[in-house]
Structure 1
Amino acid sequence: MSQLLFPDSFGDIIRILISAPLMYFAVVCFIRLSGKRSTSQMNNFDWVVTVALGSLVGSGIILADVTITEALLAIGLLLFMQWCLTSLIVRSRFVADLAKAEPRLLVENGQILKRAASKERISEREIKSAVREAGLISLSDVQWVILETDASLTVLPKKDYSPQNDALANVRGF
């Protein structure tokens, strides 16, 4: 039982006391260098990087056979790869199409597009919740609900919108 509660040696505690602050400050610096994208609302590949970062930080702090240098090198490489990919996405439509999902129209003129919602596995409850969060109380007040690439729902109330608006051009379903 004591093996579950206490480390094998005092050296393990010292290693954690040293590695945790070093890893923390290094990751903060890496995130700052890699830009806001690393901590923004996440799409699929941002999520993968975030989960991997958490695992690498934990490994560098807890595991004796993973050195701080190895963990920091892996973290730096992962963030550099994310930076390269996001740079390619901005420059190449082909890479963007491979890496990122398209936004999808889920509600049009107050009517839930059941086929689109089902395909995206978004329930009517989730749509109605987003409508409420947007300060509206009825689907009849909604022109469009769009599932964005980061899985957030954008609710656009009924106004003088035109489907030719630039921001709506890449939404699947228009």
Structure 2
Amino acid sequence: MEDFLFDGWTGIAKILIAAPVIYILVVALTRVSGKRSASQMNNFDWIVTVAIGSLVASAVLSQGVAIAEAALAITALFALQYGFTLGARRWGKVERLLKARPKILLAHGEFDEAAMDAERVTRSEILAAIRESGNRRLDEVEYVILESDARFSVIARGERALDEAVLATIRRPEGAPRAPD
């Protein structure tokens, strides 16, 4: 029972060394990699973040993982994220591989049930997004879009027409109307 509460000074010493070293490394790598590593996350960013968290925990708490090994693994994940996101910026195929495309869930007051089913989004979630955007009526809304980072964008109907370029990367249902000119 004594080992359960205190397993010796070696483990305590490793934690006292590993925690600040790994913390400083993650802060430095986050700073170097830019705002993207701390921004709204798409699926790829979320996976990298979870993996880094697991490596941090292993480095600090596991006696079987050397600090240098964990530091190298964390650095490799940051480098992979940097490389893939740079590739996504430069090549559309990489972007399509890494990121889900935004999807229109509501257009011109009509819910797209197929898109909602595919994304597992309920009407109540869409209506909540509309309320959060400050719109009070469904007919005030031109589009509700599920973005690649799982946020909802609510585009209100207005005096100015929505530029087609703004909708260029969005997956639309068959026969969906284009933005008015």
Structure 2 residue aligned with 1:67: 66
Q: How many residues align?
A: 173
Structure 1 residue aligned with 2:92: 93
Cα deviation digits, residues 6-35 of structure 1 (max 9, x gap): 231122112112211111111100111111
Structure 2 residue aligned with 1:38: 37
Q: Is the 8 A contact 1:100 1:149 kept in 2?
A: yes
Structure 1 residue 27 corresponds to structure 2 residue 35: no
- Quote how far apart the aligned CAs of 1:138 are: 2.4
The amino acid across from 1:73 in the alignment is L
Cα deviation digits, residues 100-129 of structure 1 (max 9, x gap): 111100011122111111111111111111
Structure 1 residue 114 corresponds to structure 2 residue 113: yes
Q: Is the 8 A contact 1:142 1:157 kept in 2?
A: yes
Paired with 2:17 and 2:6, the residues of 1 have a C-alpha distance of 15
SS of equivalent residue, structure 2 residue 135: coil
Structure 1 residue 170 corresponds to structure 2 residue 169: yes
- Quote how far apart the aligned CAs of 1:56 are: 0.4
SS of equivalent residue, structure 2 residue 20: helix
SS of equivalent residue, structure 1 residue 159: coil
- Quote how far apart the aligned CAs of 1:133 are: 1.1
Q: Is the 8 A contact 1:7 1:13 kept in 2?
A: no
Structure 1 residue 126 corresponds to structure 2 residue 131: no
Q: Is the 8 A contact 1:109 1:143 kept in 2?
A: yes
The amino acid across from 1:67 in the alignment is A
SS of equivalent residue, structure 2 residue 117: helix
Paired with 1:110 and 1:2, the residues of 2 have a C-alpha distance of 65
SS of equivalent residue, structure 2 residue 106: strand
Q: Identity, % of aligned pairs?
A: 42
Paired with 1:7 and 1:60, the residues of 2 have a C-alpha distance of 19
Paired with 2:109 and 2:20, the residues of 1 have a C-alpha distance of 51
Paired with 2:2 and 2:149, the residues of 1 have a C-alpha distance of 44
Structure 1 residue aligned with 2:140: 141
- Quote how far apart the aligned CAs of 1:63 are: 0.4
Paired with 2:163 and 2:149, the residues of 1 have a C-alpha distance of 23
Structure 2 residue aligned with 1:83: 82
Cα deviation digits, residues 62-99 of structure 1 (max 9, x gap): 00111111111000001001101011111111111111
Q: Is the 8 A contact 1:19 1:68 kept in 2?
A: yes
Cα deviation digits, residues 46-68 of structure 1 (max 9, x gap): 01100000000000000011111
SS of equivalent residue, structure 2 residue 23: helix
Unaligned runs of 5+ in 1: none
